[in-house]
Structure 1
Amino acid sequence: MVNLFEQLPNRKGTRSVKWDMVKQIYGAHDVQPMWVADMDLEIAQPIKEALKKVIDHGVFGYSYTDDKTDNSIKKWLLTKHDWEINSTSLLYSAGVLEIIHMTVLTYTKPKDKILIQTPVYHPFQSIIKNHQRELVTNSLLLNNGHYTIDFEDLELKFRTGVKLFIFCSPHNPVGRVWKTDELTRVAELAHKYNVMLISDEIHADLVYPGVKHIPIGSLDTPIKNKIITCMAPTKTFNLAGLQVAYAIIPDKTIRTTIYQAFETHGRTMLNTLGITALEAAYEHGFNWLAQLIELLVENLRIVNETFKNRDEVNVIQPEGTYLIWLDFRKSGLTHKQLTLFMQEEAKIGLNSGATFGDEGKGFMRMNIASPTSYVLEGVEKICQALDRIKTPQL
């Protein structure tokens, strides 16, 4: 197996949200965390070395991005995604969600309609509600363990006056990597109904063999230059705590307007170490990422093999991300019972599917970006707990 990722790093006592907030979130210290979307894996050595060089310098004043930063991104997007962009299209931010916040504030007003495709990454809902916008949902269709877009419903919703569509590609939590025809139709409908499109593509690099992520902004569509594509090295290279992201916005007016919103809120400067990590990751992270994909393939195999004969759980096969969407609707448990079962009986900390929308009830999200032995331990705990509730002890 992948030697690079055999050891589980000790993250306890590091202010890790995933590990040090277990009791606060799940009610007990002995719950195995497999929830929040960061990795229990050490970062690539070239990134460590680049960060160490900056730390050894010993001065952490104000920093800015320059041609080196731009070119690192341009090279990465061209190599990984066959997408050639112009440096002037780039807008930097501490995070993808921050870009979405600023877009919502800039291009919508209170009570405007914003659409998301549920079940979907739950902060999308929070952003819409917290800014007093109207939440509109286009439920994904699940047939034979495969999710697709309900385009008929999407068009009906667009007709009601939707102003902004927050698109998730690859999709979190269901793991779909949208195909060209799906992306093209999404863009064409957005153009037809004058809906602004912002695409969260933070998981773009995390796809399984035989699958290719296609940035929606790279396609030749009527709104190609007006799409806001959000990306970052943070999910790919386990750098979330360094807070660095960027948007590709070809339209100068849109880009300038959103940047002015960043200025208004005093959010125009990046973390010095984040800039360094981005450049090192995109210049020297190819081998590390290849090994990570091998690990995810093996971990997914373990999950499938362990659950394959269990009627109570169905593994929705991901095309991308390191997040596994588990369907427990045949377990006989209500969603509330399922949540308590995971915490109290299986002692596993997963993301409750209901947080991703009503369509997620009966589902749980599992993070498999950990050493294989850790993933195996987690899925075996679930199986053992299912056996216990099927055959109660006398």
Structure 2
Amino acid sequence: MNFEKVIDRQKTNSMKWDFVSERYGSDDLWPMWVADMDFRAPQPVLDAMQEVINHGVFGYHRRPDSLFEATASWLKKRFDWGVENNQLVYTPGVVPAISHLIQTFTEKGDGVIIQPPVYYPFYALINYNDRKLLRNPLKETEQGFAMDIEDLEKQMQEGAKMLLLCSPHNPIGRVWSQEELEQVAKLCEKYNVLVVSDEIHADLVLKGTHTPFAKLAADKGMDVDVITCMAPSKTFNLAALQLSYVVFQQEEAKKQYEEQLQRQFVGIDNPFATVAAEAAYREGEEWLEKLLDYVQDNVDFVKQYIETNIPVMNVIEPEGTYLVWIDMRELNMGASKLQSWLREEGKLALSDGHIFGNEGAGFARINVAAPRANVEEGLNRLKQAYDKL
């Protein structure tokens, strides 16, 4: 597991590397945007997929019980969360899963709360499904970004039916404390709001401890409806295999969701996804621990580099994820000008802060799940652009 090795991903139909021009308008930009890694997957995963290739038959595939068992075992080991096999429903990605959950448990016009600046597909999922977007922006404090609990209650009083919780939070990188989650749970219990908790980054915790929202609510004896979305995709760099899962606390809710998937003919995995996920959960923990150390070192490098060379910018150090939120507001450029400057002068393809919501204007998100040489190249470009100002 050599995370220092630079792997050429160009001409592999990589969204991150080969479609920069299509998204950003130029093919000479250094890509640090989309949330996948520039690392090979764990060797046990590659070995398991090679066995499928060697067999050579790719007919219709049935999801094995062993995948359920491996997933439940992983959740117990990593989070001390006891989940039974019959609580799990596998899906082709967390974003489609959330869309199907919105369709299943809300009606057109129902209010759905998000906490911006937040993962930008949340906006599309709510708008495309004709639900009412309710905003509960995070607030900036001396200790960093935090939930605005008082405003969250106001949004629930507006008649919200669902809260999309991003935990750990993307792009801020917060790993919510048990105290924060308990405050949210109390409000959801009071106002009967269903929580759909996107915990796809749960395994990628750098500081603190991730607590599954459903586990916390159950441990506290709260009467809160929680549905959790998770996946091995971010954890082990398996995003293209399109496998995620939803954890239900209530049998009736699971049944309703499965009926929704049946109506849309969703449900068959490909064998590569199945064996990769199972191998990752059974044999990938050592790789993950080394990855987290490497990502933390990259975060530290980014923070020190910017403090030394571009002090006008401020790194919001992530507690989780491999994404770093950088405050560039002191450049006083405004969202549109900053976006142009990063592309034209920095020759960088970063995730522009404003796409995560108006609250993200003046920020940018960079992906540090890459060899140090790749990260340093991006930072050098940023410095060169800054030096020209």
Same topology, TM > 0.5: yes
The one-letter amino acid paired with 1:212 is T
Alpha-carbon contact 1:298-1:372 (below 8 Å) kept: no
Which residue number corresponds to residue 173 of structure 2? 175
Q: Is the 8 A contact 2:188 2:224 kept in 1?
A: no
In structure 2, the CA distance between the partners of 1:85 and 1:59, relative to structure 1 (3 Å rule), is: same
Shift in Å, 1:222 = 4.9
Q: Does 1:98 align with 2:93?
A: no
> In the alignment, which residue of structure 2 is the partner of 1:196?
194
- State the Cα distance separating 1:280 from its structure 2 match: 0.4
Choose which of 6, 21, 24 in structure 2 pairs with 1:23. 21
Corresponding position: 1:114 with 2:112? yes
Amino acid at match of 2:187: L
Of 35, 41, 44, the residue aligned with 1:43 is 41
Q: Take 1:332 and 1:16, find their aligned partners in 2: how far apart are those partners? A: 34
Aligned to 1:71: 69
Does residue 248 of structure 1 match 2:243? no
Relative to structure 1, the CA distance from residue 222 to residue 107 in structure 2 (aligned partners, 3 Å threshold; closer, same or farther) is farther
Aligned with residue 210 of structure 2, among 187, 210, 213: 213
Question: 1:297-324 deviations in whole A, cap 9, x for unaligned?
Answer: 1111110111114332100010000000
- Alpha-carbon spacing, 1:138–1:225, altered in 2? closer, same or farther (3 Å): closer
Q: Note if 1:364 corresponds to 2:361.
A: no
- Kept after mapping to 2: 8 A contact 1:295/1:372: no
Alignment check: 8 A CA contact 1:114 1:162 kept: yes
User: Residue 332 of structure 1 aligns with which residue?
Assistant: 332
CA distance in 2, matches of 1:146, 1:201: 21
2:296 matched residue in structure 1: 297
Counterpart-to-counterpart distance in 2, 1:31 and 1:99: 32
**Aligned pairs for 1:313-392 within 5 A:** 313-389=313-389
Provide the residue aligned with 1:161 in structure 2. Answer: 159
Per the alignment, residue 235 of structure 2 pairs with: 236
> 1:226 — aligned with what?
225
Structure 1: distance between partners of 2:382 and 2:111: 40
Given that 1:249 and 1:255 are in contact with CA atoms closer than 8 Å, whether structure 2 keeps it comes out as yes
Aligned-partner residue type, residue 199 of structure 2 = E
Alignment: residue pair count: 386
2:41·2:236 contact (CA, 8 Å) conserved in 1?
Answer: yes
- Secondary structure at 1:4 match in 2: coil
Residue 224 of structure 1 and its aligned partner are, at CA, apart by 6.2
Which residue of 117, 124, 127 maps to 1:126? Answer: 124
Q: Pick which of 350-359 and 216-225 moved more.
A: 216-225
Answer yes or no: is the 8 Å Cα contact 2:194–2:224 preserved in 1: no
Q: What CA deviation, in whole Å up to 9, does each residue of 1:31-71 have, x standing for no partner? A: 00000000011111110000000111011112222321111
Equivalents in 2 of 1:334, 1:160: separation in Å? 32
How many angstroms does 1:163 deviate by? 0.6
Task: Give 1:325's aligned amino acid.
Answer: W
The structure-2 alpha-carbon separation of the partners of 1:211 and 1:120, relative to structure 1 and needing over 3 Å to count, comes to: same
Matched letter for residue 57 of structure 2 = V
What is the SS of the residue equivalent to 1:296? Answer: helix
For residue 341 of structure 1, what is the amino acid of its counterpart?
W
The alpha-carbon distance between structure 1 residues 6 and 333, as it changes in their structure 2 partners (threshold 3 A), is same
Query: 1:392: which partner in 2?
Result: none
Structure 2 equivalent of residue 311 of structure 1: 311
* TM-score normalised per structure 2: 0.97
Judged with a 3 Å threshold, the aligned counterparts in structure 2 of structure 1 residues 226 and 88 are, in CA distance, closer, same or farther, namely farther
1:12 alignment partner in structure 2: 10
In 1, are the aligned partners of 2:168 and 2:210 still within 8 Å (CA)?
A: yes
Q: Contact 2:38–2:371 (CA<8 Å) still a contact in 1?
A: yes
Q: Is the 8 A contact 1:191 1:222 kept in 2?
A: no
Secondary structure in 2 aligned to 1:289? Answer: helix
RMSD of the alignment, in Å? 1.2
* Structure 1 unaligned regions, length at least 5: 390-394
Q: Distance in 2 between matches of 1:223 and 1:115?
A: 20
Provide the rounded CA distance (Å) in 2 between the counterparts of 1:312 and 1:341: 15
Q: Alpha-carbon deviation of 1:226?
A: 2.9
Q: Partner amino acid for 2:263?
A: T
CA distance in 2, matches of 1:98, 1:222: 30
- What letter is aligned with 1:338? L
Question: What one-letter code is carried by the residue in structure 1 that aligns with 2:115?
Answer: Q
Q: Secondary structure at the match of 1:365?
A: strand
Distance across 1 between alignment mates of 2:70 and 2:46: 17
1:225 positional shift = 6.9
8 Å CA contact retained: 2:306, 2:314: yes
**Offset of residue 86 of structure 1:** 1.2
SS in 1 for 2:345: helix
Q: Which amino acid aligns with 1:53?
A: E
Alpha-carbon distance in structure 1 between the residues aligned to 2:143 and 2:240: 34
**Contact 1:187/1:222 (8 A) holds in 2:** no
Give the 3-state SS of the residue equivalent to 2:38 in structure 1. coil
In structure 2, the residue corresponding to 1:202 is in which secondary structure? coil
- State the distance in 2 between where 1:357 and 1:28 align: 24
Structure 1 residue 145 displacement after superposition: 6.2
Contact in 2 for aligned 1:311/1:331 (Cα 8 Å):
no
Give the TM-score taking structure 1 as reference length.
Answer: 0.96
1:189-229 superposed Cα distances (whole Å, 9 cap, x missing partner): 11110111100000000011x42111111112455673101
Percent identity over the alignment?
A: 40
Matched letter for residue 293 of structure 2: E
